[in-house]
Amino acid sequence: MEIKHLSKKFGKKQVLTDINYTFSNGVYGILGPNGAGKTTLMRCILNLYRYQEGSVTFSTEEGDIRSQDKIGYLPQKNGIFSGLTVEEQLMYFANLKNMDKSLWEAEITRVLQLVNLEEVRKKKGRKLSGGMVRRVGIAQALLNHPALVIFDEPTTGLDPEERIRFKNILRYLQHETIVLMSTHIVEDVEAVCDHVLVLKDGQLAAAGTQEEISRYADGKVYEIGQEEYVEGDYIEKEKEIEGKGIYRILTNRPLEGRAPETANIEDGYLCILKNI
């Protein structure tokens, strides 16, 4: 999937500016602060929003997969028919995706096993907990072996065990599917994403592997005592060691006699956002 010069305005407000990137099979994490344009980007890819400039193209044999029901999408909040069972919900979505009826049973069983909802197959929607509703949403996104799957805050409402299971699903998908995942939880990105895109003010501020993103913070991460703090340093974390307050900071100024800490993806992300 190739995005070229994608720009989107809402009224006079420029929401996305000249986004360029090429996606291939794998898991891509989209990071960015609130209002950066993550959801807008995903909706433009899905053709839910019209963009003023640019293009989104797919190089597959079938052509544009968006019209081929080979897309899975999990919105930030997903709803459910209160009167239908879990199985019937998935049948509804299978029907929407033009799946062959003979394949429904097997496919629904497959996705239910993936999200661990096989036992509540016959339970009505109104009796499901919030986490179960979310898992049903994940399950419908996985129906019909999609070529592109977009998750918007997928782990919201999931317990730790299910989050691990979800990460396993992503690992399972990454070889055959383009997976885009928008999240605020950096640990999720660290655990599964091959590539990370950082959006800032509607622009693609950085994109690359986890190491490449981390490198933005190379030589800029220090742990110092509170008394060493200087205005302009960005305090990433505070902690206490043996009663003494310690700051983990991001800074451009060289600190003599101090070795910088090993930067991780979160450090790189923050350096990109704060222009450090």
Partner 1 sequence: MYIKKYMIKPFCTLYFQLKGIHLFAVIPILGLYLILPISHYIAYHFYQNMDMLYMNIINECQYLCPILSVWWIFFVLEHYVEEDGHELLYIGRRNKVVSLILLYILFLLLMIPLFVVYTSFFSDLWWLYAKLIIIQWLYMTILYCGSFLIGKINIPVIITLLYTICAIMGAGGISYYQPIVSSGIEFVQEMRGFLLAGILLMATGCICNHFFPEHNR
Rounded-to-integer distance, Cα 190 and Cα 209, Å: 10
Residue 91 touching partner 1 (CB under 8 A)? yes
Residue among 92, 159, 171, 235 that touches partner 1 (CB under 8 A)? 92
Shortest Cβ 8–partner 1 spacing (Å): 10
10 touches partner 1 by CB under 8 A = yes
Task: Compute the least distance from the CB of residue 206 to partner 1, in Å.
Answer: 27
User: 19-37 burial, b if ≥16 CB within 10 A, otherwise e?
Assistant: beeebeebbbbbbbeeebb
23 touching partner 1, by CB under 8 A: no
- Interatomic CA distance for residues 137 and 115, integer angstroms: 10
In the list 23, 58, 73, 269, the residue contacting partner 1 (rule: CB under 8 A) is 73
Task: Provide the H-helix boundaries in the chain.
Answer: 38-45, 86-96, 101-114, 130-141, 160-173, 186-192, 210-214, 265-274
Smaller CB distance to partner 1: residue 140 or 251?
Answer: 140
How far is 86 from 84, CA to CA, in rounded Å? 7
Q: Residue 191 in contact with residue 183, Cβ under 8 Å? A: no
If one asks whether residue 116 binds partner 1 (CB under 8 A), the answer comes out as no
Composition of the chain by helix, strand, coil, percent to 5 = 35, 30, 35
Pick one of 62, 96, 103, 274: the residue that binds partner 1 (CB under 8 A). Answer: 96
**Residue 145: left if φ>0, alpha if ψ -120 to 50, beta else—which one?**
left
80 CB contacts (<8 Å, ≥6 apart)? Answer: 89, 125, 128, 133, 136
CB of 32 or CB of 137, closer to partner 1: 137
Site for partner 1 contains 135 (CB under 8 A): no
Q: Is 48 a binder of partner 1 (CB under 8 A)?
A: yes
Of residues 55 and 252, the one with the C-beta less far from partner 1: 55
Say whether residue 77 binds partner 1 (CB under 8 A).
yes
Q: For the CB of residue 43, give the shortest distance to partner 1 in the complex, in Å.
A: 7
Number of residues near partner 1 (by CB under 8 A): 32
Residues that bind partner 1 (CB under 8 A): 10, 43, 46-50, 66-67, 69, 71, 73, 75-79, 81-84, 88, 91-92, 95-98, 100, 125, 137, 140
